Structure 1
C-alpha cells in the first residue's frame, strides 16, 4: 500500500509548478482529480515547442511529466452549475491544491474561506510565484523569472564577462523542484491534521524554492558581503584541490572528481591511473603540498586522463575509493546502469518518465499516464452521486465537458 492511498486531492492548477506537486502526490498513492477548463483544458496541453525540441502528436511529455497518474474533469467553475460541482468535489477532498492568483481565487470563489466553508478540515495548498505576503503577492510568474532569475541562480551560474545570463538547463526545472517542495509541505500538513485534527494552509513559492536551492551560497554571500560568482569556463573546479574538478577523456567526455580530502585519496587515484610514481613525488607528499601544487597536479591529471576513453576510465574507476562521476546529458542518463537499477526512470503509459525522487520500502512508483483532457468527467460526476439526467443537464449548460 502506498503511503497516501485513500487521500483525495482536488487540483485547480495549470502549467508545470503546482501540477508537478499533484504528480508527486499521485505517485505516493493519492487520488488526484485535475480540474481543467471545460473548453480549453490546461494550457500546458498546447505546448509543443520547448526550446529546440518540438513534439508532434501524443503522448506529449510536456503534459505527461507533471500530470502522471491523475484523473481529469472538464469544468467551467464560472457558471453556477460548475461552481456547485467544484464545491461538491472540494467538500469530499483531503487537499485543495491551486495555482490561481489571489485575485482569481476571489473571483471564482475558491479562496481559503470559500473552500473551508464546505470542508472545514481541508488542507488548502497554494503555489505562487513570489509568496503570499508583500506588495507583489498578487503578481504571477514562471520558474525562469521567480526561481531562476530573481532567486540568484542565473547570476550565480553565469561566468563573469558573459553577456546576458545562462538559462535553465531544461524546461520546468524550477517548477519541478518547487512542486516537490509543495508536495512535501502538503504531506506534513496531512500528518499534522492526522495528529491534531487541525488543517493547515500550505504555501510554497517559486521564489522561496529558488532561494532554498541557493541557500548555501546565499549564506556565504551574505556573511562575506560579496556575491557568489561562477568560475570562468575551462578553469579547474578548485584552485586548491586537483581532485575536485572536471577532466576531459580521449572521446571528449568528462569526468567529475569531488574528493574533498585530496591527501586521503591521492595515492589511490595515482594507482588507478597507472602513475604510482606520483605517490612519492615530493610535490605531492602531503595534503598541504598537494594543495599548494594544484596547478602542477591538474596538468598531470589532464594529460593522463585525456589518454583513455570514458568507458575505459569507468571500468578502471569501479574500485576507486573517492567520489567521481561521468558527466552525462539528458539522453545518456537513459543508459546508466545505476539509474536503471534503482528504477529512477519508470514507464508511464507509452513514455518513460523520471520518477519522483522518494521511494518507500525500496520500491519505485508505478505511475499511470497523464489523463486525456476531461477523460474522467462522467466517472467523477457519477462518484458524486449525480445521475445521468443531471450530467446531461450540466453538459447542456456548458458547466462540464
Structure 2
C-alpha cells in the first residue's frame, strides 16, 4: 500500500487512555493509518507496561494494545505539560481518553475546554457507565460491566454460578465501538467542519453485544439463562465429547439437521417426529444429544470433523488460542504479524483482522518504548528546541 491509500492517512490521534478499552480504540485507528501519539506519565507510563508476561522487560500486554503508536511522556499535572498538550490538541484530529468522568475537567482537558482550542476535534471518552447519570462516577472493570450488563447470567452451566466470559470483552467491545464512532464523527466533520464529543459507555456496549438475549426481551420473553454451551433457540448446537476431546456442532435449520443425520448415517432421525423442526429439536434436545454422543463415542475429534465437513455441517474442534494462531488458517490469513522491537526483538502482533482490497501494506505495528518519541514529536510538531526539551526533562515535565 502506498501511504496515500491508508484510509486514515493524515489523521492525528492523541491517545490519553490506558490499559485496554481506550488503547484498543486508538490501536484500531493506527491500523487504518492514523498517526497515534500516546501520552504517558514520565517514569511510569501506561499501567499496562507493568503487566506480565514480559519480553526483555517489555510487557506483551502493552505491546499488543499499543502497537504502532508514538510514545510521548508528559506530566499533565504541571502547567508546562498541560500547555504542551493543548498545543498538540490544536494540531490533532482525535483525542481518546478513558479517565473516570470528572477527571478531565479537573485537569483542564475536558471536551468543552479543548474544543475551544480546536473546534474540529473529535473527542472520544470511554468509561464504565457513561459521562452523565447516577452511575457515571462508579468504578468499572470488565468484570463489573459483565455482571451489570447481564452477560454473566447467560454464561455458564444451568446449575452453576454466573460466569464471566473468559476474556475482557467489556473492554474490547467498548474500544471497538469507540473506533467506529470516531470514524463516523470524522465523516460528519467532513460535512459540518466541526468535531464532537463521543460518550462511550462500557455497560451500554455490553448490552448491545447480547443480540439473542435482546431479541428475546424485545419479543416479551425472559433471556434463556445459563445453558452451558447450548443455544437458546436452536438445537443441536452444543459441544459434544469424542474420544480425544470435544467437538462443537452447530445446526440452526432443518436442512443442516438432515445433513447431520447423513453424516451420522442415521437418515431416519430426520423423519423422527421429535426432531422435525427447530423448536421440536430444542424441546427434545436431551434425547437428541444422546444420539449424537453415541455416534461420537468411537470417533476422534479429527474423524468426526472430517465427516461433518464433508456433509456441510458447521463443526469445530475446541482449540486453544495458541493452536489457532499457529495454524495453517492463521498463516493463510496473515492473522499474526512479526515486527522488530528495539528491546524485545522479534515479536508477534495481532492487528485489526479485516482484509481491505485497496489496502495491501500495513502501517507501522512496532510498539513504542516509554517516551521513545517525546523529542521527535515535540520538536517536529511544536518546534520545541533541544535546549527547552532538556529543561523540561530536568523539571520532570517530559
TM-score normalised by L of structure 2: 0.88
* 2:261 paired with 1:270: yes
What's the CA shift for 1:283? 5.7
* 2:304 paired with 1:313: yes
* 2:244 paired with 1:251: yes
Which residue in 1 is equivalent to 2:252? Answer: 260
Which residue in 2 is equivalent to 1:374? Answer: 371
Return closer, same or farther for 1:310/1:390 CA change in 2, 3 Å cut-off.
same
In structure 2, how many angstroms separate the alpha carbons of the residues matched to 1:294 and 1:87? 61
* 2:38 paired with 1:34: yes
Which residue in 1 is equivalent to 2:329? Answer: 338
> 1:314-329 residue pairs with structure 2 within 5 A?
314-329=305-320
In structure 1, how many angstroms separate the alpha carbons of the residues matched to 2:279 and 2:142? 44
What's the CA shift for 1:108? 1.3
What's the CA shift for 1:194? 1.1
> 1:94-113 residue pairs with structure 2 within 5 A?
94-113=93-112
Contact 1:129 1:139 in 2 (8 A): yes
* 2:393 paired with 1:395: yes
In structure 2, how many angstroms separate the alpha carbons of the residues matched to 1:28 and 1:221? 36
SS in 1 for 2:157: coil
Which residue in 2 is equivalent to 1:43? Answer: 47
SS in 2 for 1:65: helix
SS in 2 for 1:379: helix
> 1:65-76 residue pairs with structure 2 within 5 A?
65-76=64-75
Contact 2:170 2:203 in 1 (8 A): no
In structure 1, how many angstroms separate the alpha carbons of the residues matched to 2:29 and 2:58? 21
Contact 2:48 2:59 in 1 (8 A): no
- Which residue of 21, 25, 28 corresponds with 1:21? 25
Contact 2:336 2:350 in 1 (8 A): yes
* 2:213 paired with 1:217: yes
What's the CA shift for 1:286? 4.5
RMSD, aligned α-carbons: 2.6
* 2:182 paired with 1:192: no
Higher alpha-carbon deviation: 288-297 or 131-140: 288-297
SS in 2 for 1:102: coil
For structure 1, list consecutive stretches of 5 or more residues without a partner in the other structure.
49-53
* 2:10 paired with 1:6: yes
In structure 2, how many angstroms separate the alpha carbons of the residues matched to 1:82 and 1:25? 25
Contact 1:221 1:228 in 2 (8 A): no
SS in 1 for 2:226: coil
SS in 2 for 1:325: strand
Return closer, same or farther for 1:290/1:397 CA change in 2, 3 Å cut-off.
closer
Contact 2:129 2:201 in 1 (8 A): yes
What's the CA shift for 1:301? 1.8
Contact 2:40 2:72 in 1 (8 A): yes
In structure 2, how many angstroms separate the alpha carbons of the residues matched to 1:367 and 1:284? 57
In structure 2, how many angstroms separate the alpha carbons of the residues matched to 1:288 and 1:177? 31
Once the two structures are superposed, residues 121-154 of structure 1 have per-residue CA deviations (whole angstroms, 9 ceiling, x without a partner) of 11111111101221222333111112x1111111
In structure 2, how many angstroms separate the alpha carbons of the residues matched to 1:336 and 1:40? 37
What's the CA shift for 1:207? 0.8
Return closer, same or farther for 1:158/1:85 CA change in 2, 3 Å cut-off.
same
Once the two structures are superposed, residues 322-341 of structure 1 have per-residue CA deviations (whole angstroms, 9 ceiling, x without a partner) of 32222222222224333332
Which residue in 2 is equivalent to 1:51? Answer: none
Return closer, same or farther for 1:240/1:131 CA change in 2, 3 Å cut-off.
closer
Return closer, same or farther for 1:13/1:222 CA change in 2, 3 Å cut-off.
same
Once the two structures are superposed, residues 71-98 of structure 1 have per-residue CA deviations (whole angstroms, 9 ceiling, x without a partner) of 0001011112111111111110000111
In structure 1, how many angstroms separate the alpha carbons of the residues matched to 2:92 and 2:371? 19
In structure 2, how many angstroms separate the alpha carbons of the residues matched to 1:375 and 1:302? 57
